[in-house]
Structure 1
Amino acid sequence: MRLIRFQDLPVTPWRNGGGVTREVAARHDAGAGSDFLWRLSIATVNADGAFSSFAGIDRTIAMLAGRGMALQLPDRTVSLGTESEPFAFAGEAPVHAKVLEGETTDLNAMTRRGVFTHAMRRLPSDGRLSIEGTADETVLVFGGRTVVEGLGETLVADRFDALLGIAPGQRIAVTPEPGAPTYLIQFFRSQAEQKDSKERPETPMS
């Protein structure tokens, strides 16, 4: 397993000046003709604005910090705060975000439809949690200081740090500080892609 420090992630400013993005991890495949097959990032948003359109991409967003935001979709408005469950939507859907107050920090998972799927869960923040790898790729993002035990080592994660490298069948334990949630993000390769991927080389996860 590998601990990724939030403070070490490169910062990419948005073109519209409404925020910045830090890429936590991504899976690329040179043979697929796409920028990524899956991607996990943390964004800091300080102004209202439209989400970028990602055709053929499924997305999930969760609020890590701030007062939250209201997402205006064609058929409804969804309010997201730090206590909200992650919200999933299609990447090509027109979405306008309104920041409720100040700035927000949010967690974003994206997968290329038909190649990977994903699931994001907000785990309880009280007591010790046991987590087993059951997906092709499993990532944890921590909402506060958390002790991680497993695979013969103990790590201490800080707020917004991420843990990668939990293989299928491996089990770890996390003990967060009181009130700090843990976000579990699982990436699953589709059955059709599993067959196709055997016929083309795959670049390593960044």
Structure 2
Amino acid sequence: MRVLRATDYRVMPWKNGGGTTTEIAVSPDGAGLDDFDWRVSMARVERSGPFSNFAGIDRTLSVLEGEGIVLDVAGRPPQRVTAASQPFSFPADQPTSAALIAGPITDFNVMTRRSRILHSVERLAISTAAEIPAEAGSTLILCHRGHAIFPGAAPIRVGPLDTLLLGPDASVLRVQPAPDVTLFVIRIIAAA
């Protein structure tokens, strides 16, 4: 189990050069935009426009801050994504454009290489102790709002935008919110 602090995340340019992204975690360690198996990041979107194309990648997008965004993914009806909506999954190699609803947003992205890795993203708002099941692969828990304590021999406290990274040996993690917390739980497993 590793704690990834928001102050240590790596900031890098978007693939299309239109802004910057904050990389939370990537596998394998040190992988670039063209050779990762999975990648978890945040980005500040200042204006409407096209998304970068990532060949062979599946992507899930959530809104962390701001009014939201309308995504137009080729072949699908436009999808409105807000801080209150469920995470939205789509192929990152399909032409995609975004229209901001009312000003800039900060989004949260999970991307996995379709031929090797599958992922799921769940938003959890909790106000009492809870248990979070982990996957056989990797599980990441991003603390979006509030603070959370993960009890144990050496309790771990995470604050806004800190992430807990669990390896394949984890099964269930107990969390104590202090007092209300919103978490994103990302489960990453090998494709069958």
TM-score tier (shorter): 0.7 to 0.9
Query: Cα deviation per residue 1:31-50 (whole Å; 9 max; x = unaligned)?
Result: xxx51111111111111111
Unmatched segments (≥5 aa) in structure 2: none
Could you say which structure has the higher helix fraction? Answer: 1
Q: What's the counterpart of residue 124 of structure 1?
A: 125
Aligned to 2:61, what secondary structure does the other structure show? strand
Kindly indicate whether the alpha-carbon contact (under 8 Å) linking 2:14 and 2:52 is maintained by their aligned counterparts in 1.
Answer: no
Say if 2:32 is the partner of 1:7: no
TM-score when normalising by structure 1: 0.82
The 3 A distance-change label for structure 1 pair 67 and 180 is farther
Q: What's the counterpart of residue 145 of structure 1?
A: 146
CA RMSD of aligned residues (A): 2.2
The 3 A distance-change label for structure 1 pair 179 and 118 is same
Kindly indicate whether the alpha-carbon contact (under 8 Å) linking 1:146 and 1:174 is maintained by their aligned counterparts in 2.
Answer: no
Q: 4-13 vs 21-30, which deviates more?
A: 21-30
Query: Cα deviation per residue 1:1-50 (whole Å; 9 max; x = unaligned)?
Result: 221111221211336664321111111299xxx51111111111111111
Q: What's the counterpart of residue 46 of structure 2?
A: 46
TM-score when normalising by structure 2: 0.88
Could you say which structure has the higher strand fraction? Answer: 2
Query: Cα deviation per residue 1:132-160 (whole Å; 9 max; x = unaligned)?
Result: 32230100011122222244221221111
Query: Cα deviation per residue 1:110-129 (whole Å; 9 max; x = unaligned)?
Result: 11112010111111333222
Alignment of 1:99-178 (within 5 A): 99-177=100-178
Q: Distance in 1 between matches of 2:136 and 2:124?
A: 17
Q: Distance in 1 between matches of 2:49 and 2:43?
A: 13
Q: Distance in 2 between matches of 1:72 and 1:137?
A: 30
Q: Distance in 2 between matches of 1:178 and 1:96?
A: 38
The 3 A distance-change label for structure 1 pair 16 and 109 is closer
How many correspondences in the alignment?
Answer: 188
Kindly indicate whether the alpha-carbon contact (under 8 Å) linking 2:116 and 2:191 is maintained by their aligned counterparts in 1.
Answer: yes
Aligned to 1:144, what secondary structure does the other structure show? strand
Of structures 1 and 2, the larger Rg is shown by 1
Q: Distance in 2 between matches of 1:164 and 1:83?
A: 24
